[in-house]
Structure 1
Amino acid sequence: MKKFKRYCKTLKLHDDPDLIREYKKVHAMGAAWPEISQGMQEIGIIDMEIYIDGNQLFMIMDTVPEFDHEAAMAALATMPRQAEWEAYVSRFQRTSAEAAAADKWRLMERIYELEQQKESTPEQGYDKEC
């Protein structure tokens, strides 16, 4: 069994169909800047998925078990091109161009799990095995 932590986050886009289409293009396979994906992997993010419903985004982020969300997000903000990426995608998001990823994406609280294992908080992440 492989152990990891899971974080779920949410963010709203501007309610503009053209901007939403463009945001999807920016995140299409191979379209994200390589420095962004590399930085995420360097801080311990194993996998990340983003889903959309209307203008509401939902992110599932799986990390190494020892992941410290606050420290990792602070480190991510210093990675090459990260500030430039955040400023670029902020035009689609209901946020400011100066906001870091940790300030834009809100952690979500898990209220149900089929195989409930132990209590945790959104900031601690939720321990998982697969």
Structure 2
Amino acid sequence: MKTTRYCLALDLKDDPKLIKEYEKYHEKIWPEITKSIVDGGVVSSQIYRLETRMFMILEVDETFSFERKTKMDQENPKVQEWEDLMWKYQQALPWAAPGQKWMLMDKVFDLKENG
């Protein structure tokens, strides 16, 4: 199976209590959210944090598209509930468009390609 990797960024609110709560939620996300992620074509996902900046790596299969995943999420009340809850902890990057959360990052280096 061929996969594609996407890397995205988002910030958390600069509040240690909120950051701790956010990380607690991610120790075991809701099963409906896991199902939605997998059903959307994501085969692997990790989130890393440095202070308030978060970095997410998605490995997706050939069924994945951001448009399809967005449509699926908009039609799923449990995903909308999760997104509303997570927005309590998250804040948009300074250059994000209104309503934009996770922003796709550009790859600037790859050891296999540029080493």
Q: TM-score range by the shorter chain?
A: 0.7 to 0.9
Q: Is 1:70 equivalent to 2:72 in the alignment? A: no
Which residue is 1:79 aligned to?
A: 76
In the alignment, is the contact (CA less than 8 A) between 2:40 and 2:63 conserved in 1? no
Spell out structure 1 runs of 4+ moving beyond 6 A.
none
3-state SS of the aligned residue for 2:49? strand
More helix by share: 2
Which residue is 2:15 aligned to?
A: 16
Counterpart CA distance in 1 for 2:14 and 2:31 is 28
TM alignment of 1:1-130, pairs within 5 A: 2-28=1-27, 31-95=28-92, 103-116=100-113
Distance 1:47 1:80, change over 3 A: farther
In the alignment, is the contact (CA less than 8 A) between 1:35 and 1:81 conserved in 2? yes
Q: CA deviation at 1:74?
A: 2.1
Please give the per-residue CA displacement for 1:73-113, whole angstroms capped at 9, x wherever unaligned: 22233234000000111100115xxxxxx931000000111
Structure 2 unaligned regions, length at least 5: 93-98
Q: How high is the TM-score relative to the length of structure 1?
A: 0.76
Q: What is the identity percentage for the equivalent residue pairs of Structure 1 and Structure 2?
A: 34
How many correspondences in the alignment? 108
Counterpart CA distance in 2 for 1:70 and 1:112 is 26
Counterpart CA distance in 2 for 1:91 and 1:61 is 23
